Amino acid sequence: MAAEKQYDAIIIGAGQAGVPLSRALAGAGWKTALVEREHVGGTCINEGCTPTKTMVASARVAYLAGRGNEYGLRGSTTVSVDMKVVRQRKRDIVDSFRNGSQKRLEATENLSLIFGEASFTGAKSVRVGDDTLTASRAVVINTGTRATRPKPARLG
C-alpha cells in the first residue's frame, strides 16, 4: 500500500558520500532516509576499487612468490594461479565490506535504509516504489556517474 513518509533529510545513493553522510545526519538527530537502488557501497565497494585491488593483490603475491629465490627463500618458487580461489577471495571481501556497511546502517538510530529507485516528484519529495518520501531540510544526490560513448571526432 502506498505511504507518505516524512524525514528531515533524504539521501539518494549509498555510495562513497551517501553512507557516511547519512550516518552523520542521523547521529546529529535528523530523521534520515538513505535510498539505494542496488547495493550498499556503490561502485567502489561492489564493482570498482575493492574487487580490482583485491585481485591486484593476488597478482602481486604471485609475482613476489615467483621471485622467492632472489630474496633468499629456499624451496619451490614455481607458482601457479588458481583463478577460482582468487575470485572467491575477491567475492568474500566485497561481501564482507558491503554487508558490514549495511549492518551498521541498519543499526543506526534515526536512519532508514530503503532499497528502491528514487525519482523526484518535487523539490523536496521523491518516489520510491509506491511510497512518497518528503524531506523538510535537505535532499542530497549521491548517484554517481554513468559511462557514455563519446561522439566520433570530426576530421577535416
Ligand X SMILES: Cc1cc2nc3c(=O)[nH]c(=O)nc-3n(C[C@H](O)[C@H](O)[C@H](O)COP(=O)(O)OP(=O)(O)OC[C@H]3O[C@@H](n4cnc5c(N)ncnc54)[C@H](O)[C@@H]3O)c2cc1C
Residues of this chain that bind ligand X (CB under 6 A): 12-17, 35-38, 42-44, 47-49, 52-53, 117-118, 142-144
Q: Closest distance between ligand X and the C-beta of residue 114, in Å?
A: 9
- Which is closer to ligand X, CB of 53 or CB of 104? 53
* Closest of 33, 56, 48, 54 to residue 110, by C-alpha: 33
Q: Closest distance between ligand X and the C-beta of residue 74, in Å?
A: 36
Which one-letter amino acid corresponds to residue 119? Answer: S
- Which is closer to ligand X, CB of 15 or CB of 23? 15
Q: Closest distance between ligand X and the C-beta of residue 129, in Å?
A: 11
Q: Closest distance between ligand X and the C-beta of residue 17, in Å?
A: 6
- Which is closer to ligand X, CB of 17 or CB of 93? 17
Q: Closest distance between ligand X and the C-beta of residue 125, in Å?
A: 14
- Which is closer to ligand X, CB of 3 or CB of 155? 3
> Burial letters for 31-61: b for 16+ Cβ neighbours within 10 Å, e otherwise?
bbbbbbeebbbbeebbeeebbeebbeebeee
In whole angstroms, how far apart are CA 98 and each of 30, 31, 43, 134, 152?
Answer: 24, 23, 11, 27, 38
- Which is closer to ligand X, CB of 26 or CB of 118? 118
Segment (H or E) for 131:
strand 131-141
Which one-letter amino acid corresponds to residue 107? Answer: A
